[in-house]
Amino acid sequence: MNPRADPADDFLLQQPWLPVCIDSCQLLVKSWFGDAEYHILLTDMQGVWEERMDAAAIERRAQELNRRLRAAVQAFFSHLREAAEPWLSGGGSGEAQMCVWRRDGAVTLKLKSELAGLPFHWEFHCGPAPVSLVCAQLVRPLLAMSRLMHRQVEELGELLARKDEEIQDYRENGATLSRERLQTDVFNKQLYTEDFIQKNLPVLRSDQSHALGFNTDLQQLYAAVTAHCPTPHKRRRPQENHGDPDWTEPGPPEPEPPAQTTVIGPDGGDPENQNPGTPVGPGGAAQVRAPAVGATRPAERQSSKLKKKKVGLFR
Smallest gap from Cβ 101 to its own copies, in A, equals 19
Which long-range contacts link 206-214 to residues 24+ away (Cβ below 8 Å)?
209/26, 210/19, 211/19, 211/26, 211/28, 212/19, 212/26, 212/27, 212/28, 212/43, 212/44, 212/45, 213/45, 214/16, 214/17, 214/19, 214/28
Q: What's the CA gap between 258 and 242, in Å, rounded? A: 34
Q: Write the CA distances from 175 to 154, 183, 266, integer angstroms.
A: 29, 12, 76
- Our measurement of the distance from residue 241's CA atom to the centroid of its chain's CA atoms, rounded to an integer in Å, reads 22
Smallest gap from Cβ 168 to its own copies, in A, equals 8
Helix (H, G, I), strand (E, B) or coil at 196: helix
Total interface residues for its own copies by CB under 8 A: 82
Return the number of the residue (81 or 242) whose C-beta is nearest its own copies: 242
Task: Tell whether residue 149 is a contact of its own copies (CB under 8 A).
Answer: yes
Nearest to 77 by CA among 63, 67, 87, 95: 63
Return the number of the residue (180 or 272) whose C-beta is nearest its own copies: 180
Smallest gap from Cβ 1 to its own copies, in A, equals 14
Smallest gap from Cβ 156 to its own copies, in A, equals 4
Taking CB under 8 A as the criterion, which residues in 251-310 touch its own copies?
none
Helix (H, G, I), strand (E, B) or coil at 32: strand
Contact 12, 30 (CB under 8 A): yes
Smallest gap from Cβ 148 to its own copies, in A, equals 6
Return the number of the residue (93 or 183) whose C-beta is nearest its own copies: 183
Return the number of the residue (46 or 273) whose C-beta is nearest its own copies: 46
Contacting residue, 36, 48, 57, 288, with its own copies by CB under 8 A: 48
Return the number of the residue (208 or 275) whose C-beta is nearest its own copies: 208
Task: Tell whether residue 229 is a contact of its own copies (CB under 8 A).
Answer: yes
Task: Tell whether residue 234 is a contact of its own copies (CB under 8 A).
Answer: no
Contacting residue, 64, 139, 297, 304, with its own copies by CB under 8 A: 139
Query: Any idea what DSSP says for residue 139?
Result: I
Q: What's the CA gap between 17 and 219, in Å, rounded? A: 7
Return the number of the residue (99 or 156) whose C-beta is nearest its own copies: 156
Task: Tell whether residue 25 is a contact of its own copies (CB under 8 A).
Answer: no
Task: Tell whether residue 56 is a contact of its own copies (CB under 8 A).
Answer: no
Return the number of the residue (29 or 48) whose C-beta is nearest its own copies: 48
- Our measurement of the distance from residue 187's CA atom to the centroid of its chain's CA atoms, rounded to an integer in Å, reads 40
Contacting residue, 11, 21, 35, 47, with its own copies by CB under 8 A: 47
